[in-house]
Amino acid sequence: MDSFFIVTSLLKIAILLGVILFMVSYAVYAERRVSAFIQDRLGPNRVGPAGLFQPIADMFKLLLKEDFTPRAANTFY
Helices (H), 1-77: 3-38, 54-63
If one counts the domains in the chain, the total is 1
pTM of the model: 0.55
In a domain, 72, yes or no: no
Of the two residues 38 and 73, the one the predictor is more confident about is 38
In a domain, 39, yes or no: yes
Is residue 52 very low, low, confident or very high in pLDDT (cuts 50, 70, 90)?
confident
> What is the rounded CA–CA span in Å between residue 3 and residue 42?
51
In a domain, 76, yes or no: no
